[in-house]
């Protein structure tokens, strides 16, 4: 397992970036009709939500 140490500012910036990416994925998922792509996007959303949870942020 990889361990990553971040300053408080780095962690806050990472949370902002992940929340923005999650928002984009929600929009993209709703707009796609391709089942395979939709499944992939849902997996990415789940991953990002888990990372946000580990960072102590709300998804």
The dihedral sign for the CA sequence 51, 53, 55, 57: positive
Residue 17 has pLDDT above 90, yes or no: yes
Q: Taking residues 18-42, what's their average pLDDT? A: 96
User: Cα(first)–Cα(last) distance of the chain, in Å?
Assistant: 23
Specify whether the CB–CB gap between 5 and 45 falls below 8 A: no
Residue 58 has pLDDT above 90, yes or no: no
DSSP category for residue 55? T
Indicate the SS3 state at residue 58.
Answer: coil
Residue 59 has pLDDT above 70, yes or no: no
If you average pLDDT over every residue of the chain, what do you get?
95
């Amino acid at each position: 397992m990889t361990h990553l140490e971040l300053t408080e500012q780095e962690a806050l910036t990472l949370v902002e970036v992940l929340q923005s990416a999650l928002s984009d994925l929600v929009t993209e998922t709703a707009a796609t009709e391709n089942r395979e792509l939709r499944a992939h996007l849902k997996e990415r959303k789940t991953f990002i939500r888990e990372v946000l949870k580990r960072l102590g942020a709300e998804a």
